[in-house]
């Protein structure tokens, strides 16, 4: 099969085609959700920078002749959302409200990512309940052309992705013009988001504060103390390796498992147990470790950048 070279002008479509195809294969075809039934396993990270405080589902829809998705009621004021992304990595909107919603037809194929909050990932009954909720998200479509294997050249796609990921890593937070509806974004830099954080939310829906660390080694202990970010949903910190994937099951601190200091701040320790003995809120790290702080439905101090995360310091 002839392949098409990937260049800056078509990178976003090529990378999104790759993601759509992979997720569509996992779902077993078009107009179906692929449901991850347990907290994201390390060997089933379908995209970069996933996390462990939500259960994910994803599916590709043929929206050409019209399609809808049904969003069920959520118990316990539990956060849930459907992120909608088109084939050019624009996000026309995010769905939060129960009911039947019409999908846009910006491109023939549209992607949906469901996130449902998990309060206690070790509670099997809660995981079972969330999985029942997942099965109540229903896709209905008037067309069902399957998403065929992309013809993009792998070598040029991989090369450009690596180049853009280097630029992506220079940003401490994700600019507001990296994700959202078409016509509102920076067409000169949004390829960095596509390469380094495919499937990210628009800032108003979730703000991502990126800590790169400057390629710190993974055999020491580090710490930093944080104030609680202002959110309408919830917050979390997730640790990644230098390739953007989680390397350990002990990689997440969030409002459900954090241990607070007396002043309501919280201190996180980053490092192996033998280097951080007895430390609370400890996360495993590897060489080149980095993290994202996520603020779902962020408040004004997060959106305007006045909320800051401190530099981590080595614990001697």
Domains and CATH numbers, the chain: 11-141 (2.60.120), 204-314 (2.60.120.600)
Q: Please spell the DSSP secondary structure of the chain, one letter per residue.
A: ---B---TTTHHHHHHHHHHHHHHHHHTSTT--EE--SS--GGG--STT--SSEEEEEEEEE-TT-EEEEE---STT--EEEEEEETTS----EE-SSEEEEPP-SSSEEEEEEEEE-S-TT-HHHHHHHHHHHTT-EEEES-----PPP-B-HHHHHHHHHHHHHHHTT-SB--GGGSSSTTSS-TTTHHHHHHHSTTPPPTTTEEEEEE-TTS--SSS-EEEEEPPP-BSS-EEEEEE-TTSS---S--EEETTT----TTS-EEEEES-TTTSTT-SSEE---TT-EEEEEEESB-HHHHTT---PPPPEE--
pLDDT reading at 214 higher than 90: no
- How far apart CA 182 and CA 278 sit, in angstroms, is 49
User: Band of the pLDDT at 169, cuts 50, 70, 90?
Assistant: confident
Identify the sign of the CA torsion 70, 136, 141, 60: positive
pLDDT at position 212 is: 85
User: Band of the pLDDT at 74, cuts 50, 70, 90?
Assistant: very high
- How far apart CA 277 and CA 274 sit, in angstroms, is 6
Check: CB of residue 58 under 8 Å from CB of residue 112: yes
Q: Which residues of 200-237 are buried (b: 16+ CB within 10 A; e: fewer)?
A: bbbbebbbbbbbbbeebebeebbbbebeebbbebbbbb
Mean pLDDT score across all residues of the chain: 96
Return the closest-CA partner of residue 241 out of 232, 233, 251.
251
pLDDT at position 145 is: 98
User: Band of the pLDDT at 172, cuts 50, 70, 90?
Assistant: confident
Mean pLDDT (whole number) for 201-229 = 93
User: What size, in residues, is the chain?
Assistant: 316
pLDDT at position 207 is: 93
Mean pLDDT (whole number) for 263-281 = 98
pLDDT at position 2 is: 87
Check: CB of residue 174 under 8 Å from CB of residue 149: no
């Amino acid at each position: 099969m002839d392949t098409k070279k990937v260049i800056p002008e078509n990178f976003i479509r090529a990378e999104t085609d790759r993601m759509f195809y992979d997720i569509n294969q996992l779902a077993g075809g078009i107009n179906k959700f692929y449901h991850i039934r347990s907290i994201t396993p390390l060997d089933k990270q379908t995209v970069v920078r996933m996390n462990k405080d939500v259960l994910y589902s994803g599916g590709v829809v043929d929206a050409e002749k019209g399609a809808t998705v049904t969003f069920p009621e959520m118990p316990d004021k539990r956060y849930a959302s459907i992120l909608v992304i088109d084939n050019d990595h624009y996000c026309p909107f995010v769905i939060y409200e129960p009911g039947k919603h019409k999908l846009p037809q910006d491109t023939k194929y549209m992607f949906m990512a469901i996130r449902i909050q998990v309060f206690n990932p070790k509670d099997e009954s809660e995981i079972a309940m969330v999985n029942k909720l997942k099965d109540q998200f229903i896709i209905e479509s008037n067309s069902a052309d399957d998403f065929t294997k992309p013809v993009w050249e792998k070598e040029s796609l991989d090369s450009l992705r690596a180049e853009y990921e280097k630029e992506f890593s220079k940003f401490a937070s994700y600019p507001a013009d990296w994700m959202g509806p078409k016509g509102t974004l920076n067409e000169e830099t949004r390829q960095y988001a596509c390469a380094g954080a495919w499937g990210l939310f628009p800032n108003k829906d979730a703000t991502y504060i990126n800590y790169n660390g400057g390629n710190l080694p993974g055999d020491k202990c580090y710490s930093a103390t944080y104030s609680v970010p202002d959110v309408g949903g919830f917050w979390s910190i997730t640790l990644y390796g230098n390739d953007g994937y989680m390397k350990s099951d002990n990689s997440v601190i969030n409002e459900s498992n954090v241990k607070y200091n007396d002043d309501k701040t919280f201190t996180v320790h980053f490092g192996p147990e033998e280097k951080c003995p007895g430390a609370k809120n400890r996360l495993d790290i590897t060489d080149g470790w980095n993290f994202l702080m996520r603020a779902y439905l962020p408040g004004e101090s997060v959106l305007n950048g006045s909320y800051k995360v401190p530099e981590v310091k080595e614990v001697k």
